[in-house]
Structures are given as C-alpha cells and as structure tokens.
Amino acid sequence: AVWPCVTLVLQWHKEPGWGWKTQDLGFSPQDEKAPAYWNQRARRTLESALSLAPVTRRAKNIILFLGDGMGVSTVSAARIYKGQLEGRPGEDSRLAMETFPYVALAKTYNVDRQVPDSAGTGTAYLCGVKANAKTLGVSAAAAYGKCNTTWGNEVYSVLHRAKLSGKSVGIVTTTRVQHASPGAAYAHVVNREWYSDADLPKEATRQGCKDIAYQLVHNTDINVILGGGRMYMTPRRTPDPEYPTDPKQSGMRKDGLDLVERWLNAKQGARYVWDKKGLDAVDENSTDYLLGLFEPKDMKYELNRDAGTDPSIVEMTEKAVRILRRNPRGFFLFVEDDYGHARSSVEPGGGLCLAPKKAEDKRPYTSILYGNGPGYAIANGSRPDVSSLPIEDKDYRQQAAVPLDTETHAGEDVAIMAKGPMAHLFHGVQEQNYVAHVLAYAGCLEPYHAGPECPAPSCRSGSPGLGQPPSLLLLALGAASLLLRM
C-alpha cells in the first residue's frame, strides 16, 4: 500500500548543500545484544533532539522532492535494501531523508475520493487547495471532464508564485512533464489526460480548453523543465528523434504547433535537449532556460535506463540546481520520481525477506507486501511458492492479494520529511494542502510575502516572452490570495 511521500528541503544556503549520503552508524550485529549499545545510541539521538532549534529565517531556495508511490512501507523497504547493499542486515540503515529533523503525516484524500489520484493531490500540495480527483490546478468547484467549469476556478501553484516573486523555477520528473504531479505546477485542466490537443474531446476544444502541453509552454514562465513527454509537443507524424522509425512514438498534435520551437523562440538564452549527451553539453552558466525531453512519453525506470542515452534523476536534478541557483533571489524546484507504482511489478529483490512463519496456505510469504498489483497469481488453486521464485530478478513481480495491471494509490497517510528554514512547521498529522502553505510561508510567496523579514518585491517578475499578460498575473495573485486567506 503506497503513495507519495513528500520530502522537502528548504534551503537558505548559497551553495545547495543537499547530500545523498548518510552518516555511518557503526553497526555490528554483535553489538545489538548489549543494552549499552541501544542506550548509548538513543542517548546520542536524545542529545541531538535536545539541541534541535527551529530555523525561523525565511528560505531563499526551496526544493520539493516527491516520491510518487513512496508510501511509508516503501521507504522501509528501501532503507533495508540500502543497508543490505552495504553488506549489513539493513534494518538499522538510514536514508538521507530520514536524517531530516522534522516529519509530518499528510492526509491525502481528494474532495471526491477517499483514495486520491496524483492530480488531485498535486493540486493540494502545490496549489494549497484540495480538489477533485483527476483535475489539475482547479478547485473542487470545477467538475472532472467539464471544460466550461475551468474558468474562474483556477488555483495557482507555489512554483507559479515563486516565479512571480522573482525566483527561478524548475521541474524535474521521471514521468512525462505533462503528467499529473508536474502538471499541477503550471496547468489548469479538468482532465489530467488531456496531454495534447489530440486528447481533448471536440466539445472541450470548441469551448476553448487547452491541453497540458500547450499550457506548459504558455502559462508559467518556467526556467528548467526536464523529464519525458516529447510526443505531445510536436505535430502529428513528426518522427521522434530517438525512435524515428516507430510511428507510435511520433508527434501527435492535431493543431500543427511545434511547442518546442515556440518555447525556444519565446525565451532568451534557451536550450532544448533530448538526450544525455545534449544535457551534459549544456553550459549551466550561460543557460537561463532549459527544456529537456528525453522520451516520447514517460522516462524509463532507473533499473531499465540506458545510461548512455538517458540522464538519471540525479543528473537532471544537479543540472537544474546549477542553472536555477544563479538567480540571487533564489529558486523553487519540484523534483518527482515516479517509481512506487512500478515497484510491485519491478521489484529489485529489495530488502524483501521471507517472514519467519508460513502462511495458512503452508507457503512462505515476503515480510513486506503489496495489497494489489500485477503480481497476483494463483496456480493450481494456490499462491506460487515465493521461495522458489527469482525474487532477486529485476522483473520479478511482488505478490499481491488483488489482481491489477499496476499497483494503485492507497488511502493511507504519507510522510513529509523536512529540513531547513521553517521546516518545523511540518509537524503532526495535516491535510495535504497545508504543504503548499508552509512552502509559501517559508519562501515569502503570496499570500505570505509581506513580512518584514521578506525581501522587497522584485522588478524581475514580469516574465519575458510567453509569460501571462499583466492582467492575468493580477488575476493569478488575486485568486491565490483569496483562496489562501480562508
């Protein structure tokens, strides 16, 4: 049972000091038998907790990492697997994000769903307002699929508000950049699957609704966009640069627009890249705008990635930070890794042990389980014997109780882990839309921008090129502050 764990890094430092390494805990299995081992370890933890002081400055830079599919049970499995890769039993291991001092739980339900989807939740944690499932950047007054309920119900993300405040902003994702989680940062759409204009029903087109790819290029002025999603950007039958002979990967726009070209023409100092070589060659010191689209749809899972042609999420994130951090007013970066839904089908032997006892069907079972997914199997009236299955294989499908082609979201709460200025505001069990409010407060963004400790308004906020016209900017701010003041 998994769903996004939101990890937040709120930064003040000029040099992004975010690290991927954890401290060595100096573990040996023998030690665990001695009470002194546990007592001393806990005492050290207690001392560091006693010296923990909230950082009450505002944040210059904000990074929001979202693990889509990373529920608490998946975090536990990842931690154990990491320790095992280091040659230890694994349970005592710590992930980098587990060293963050503040943790909260987020209630993830959508206004119309007990078990949410990524669009409704993206709207909550990025725009600060709970919404209906499958809708992006609109309040729950907008109805799913009903184009003409969009207008007047738009809500605006912290990424958008960060841009208005003069910060540089970016999106990094391993999905297509028009997918629900990144889409909530810039799009206002009543159906998350309206990726290109070819996906819109005739009535929606007639009523003037725009697809998500179109909005990516025409709404918020985003400095760095890295992920998948080439096919929604180019006219029908435009061959894909990586798979030129496969017509299924070709462009699909019916309106004939080349949105990549349009984006490049509208921005100064802009680069477009579509493979790792291109990304590596980007000079971060002279590039103000970077669009990198590395697959026609979603990027490949890390286990299946061709490291010669596609960048990793780490490489994309590093490039994004190097470009964004040149802005003296700071930056906002949203990073999404979408893998949790896949882990039930592509499970790298991760941290999975067999439980000490057999189940009532006299067969062994793994100690961490998925509720549903493609791993459901009944052969000759019973569950396959997992001890005879290749659970170390990357294509092994973790057993699941209910058959589904991919594992779904779950209805349980997800963890928020935070460090940096105002990170202590993440505490307790909260509604998910609270996330955006803490980010806005920490970053001096609308509507929390007027404090004496906040920097004076920027004169850079008018966005060049395709940015929204000033009247729309005002509308954006008005809508955001009205909703946020409730």
Ligand X SMILES: *[C@@H]1O[C@H](CO)[C@@H](O)[C@H](O)[C@H]1NC(C)=O
Q: Specify the amino acid at residue 375.
A: G
Residues 383-442 that bind ligand X (CB under 6 A): none
Tokens representing residue 240 in the block = 């894909």
From 88-96, 107-115, 280-288, 394-402, give the range in contact with ligand X by CB under 6 A.
280-288
Q: Does 179 appear as a known binding residue?
A: yes
Shortest distance, position 21 Cβ to ligand X, whole Å: 22
Residue 213 near residue 235 (C-beta atoms within 8 A): no
CA–CA separation, 404 and 133 (whole Å) = 20
Judged by beta carbon, residue 258 or residue 284, the one nearer ligand X is 284
Judged by beta carbon, residue 70 or residue 386, the one nearer ligand X is 386
Judged by beta carbon, residue 378 or residue 429, the one nearer ligand X is 378
Q: Does 188 appear as a known binding residue?
A: no
Judged by beta carbon, residue 262 or residue 383, the one nearer ligand X is 383
Using omega within 30 degrees of 0 as the cis cutoff, is the peptide bond preceding 348 cis?
A: no
Q: Which pairing describes strands 168-176 and 224-228: parallel, antiparallel, or unpaired? A: parallel
Q: Specify the amino acid at residue 399.
A: Q
Q: Which pairing describes strands 331-338 and 102-107: parallel, antiparallel, or unpaired? A: unpaired
Q: Specify the amino acid at residue 166.
A: G
Residue 15 binds ligand X (CB under 6 A): no
From 49-57, 72-80, 277-285, 395-403, give the range in contact with ligand X by CB under 6 A.
277-285
Judged by beta carbon, residue 201 or residue 256, the one nearer ligand X is 201
CA–CA separation, 271 and 65 (whole Å) = 24
Per residue, the 3-state secondary structure of 234-296, as one string, reads CECCCCCCCCCCCHHHCCCECCCCCHHHHHHHHCCCEEEECCHHHHHHCCCCCCCEEEEECCC
From 12-20, 150-158, 219-227, 282-290, give the range in contact with ligand X by CB under 6 A.
282-290
Shortest distance, position 413 Cβ to ligand X, whole Å: 36
Q: Specify the amino acid at residue 448.
A: Y
Q: Does 341 appear as a known binding residue?
A: yes
Shortest distance, position 51 Cβ to ligand X, whole Å: 34
* Nearest CA among 170, 127, 58 for reference residue 449: 58
Judged by beta carbon, residue 379 or residue 486, the one nearer ligand X is 379
Shortest distance, position 341 Cβ to ligand X, whole Å: 26
Shortest distance, position 146 Cβ to ligand X, whole Å: 6
Q: Which of 148, 309, 458, 481 binds ligand X (CB under 6 A)?
A: 148
Residue 203 binds ligand X (CB under 6 A): yes
Residue 339 near residue 357 (C-beta atoms within 8 A): no
Point out the catalytic residue in the list 28, 93, 118, 388.
118
- Whose tokens are 């003296």? That residue is 328
Per residue, the 3-state secondary structure of 106-152, as one string, reads EECCECCECCCCHHHHHHHHHHCCCCCCCCECECCCCCCCCHHHCCC
Residue 380 binds ligand X (CB under 6 A): yes
- Any catalytic annotation for residue 118? yes
From 115-123, 241-249, 279-287, 435-443, give the range in contact with ligand X by CB under 6 A.
279-287
Q: Does 181 appear as a known binding residue?
A: yes
What 3-state DSSP class applies to 418?
Answer: strand
Shortest distance, position 467 Cβ to ligand X, whole Å: 26
Q: Specify the amino acid at residue 256.
A: G
- Whose tokens are 């000490």? That residue is 356
Tokens representing residue 102 in the block = 């503040």
Residue 285 binds ligand X (CB under 6 A): yes
Shortest distance, position 222 Cβ to ligand X, whole Å: 22
Judged by beta carbon, residue 74 or residue 132, the one nearer ligand X is 132
Shortest distance, position 16 Cβ to ligand X, whole Å: 13
By CB under 6 A, how many residues form the interface with ligand X? 8
CA–CA separation, 156 and 142 (whole Å) = 14
Residue 51 binds ligand X (CB under 6 A): no
What 3-state DSSP class applies to 477?
Answer: helix
Residue 234 near residue 261 (C-beta atoms within 8 A): no
Instruction: Give the residues across from 138 on adjacent strands.
Output: 154
CA–CA separation, 70 and 461 (whole Å) = 35
Judged by beta carbon, residue 28 or residue 285, the one nearer ligand X is 285
Q: Does 409 appear as a known binding residue?
A: yes
Q: Does 336 appear as a known binding residue?
A: yes
Q: Does 68 appear as a known binding residue?
A: yes
Binding site members for Zn(2+): 68, 337, 341, 409
Please give the positions annotated as active site: 118
Tell me which residues touch ligand X (CB under 6 A). 146, 148, 203, 283-285, 379-380
Binding site members for Mg(2+): 68, 179, 181, 336
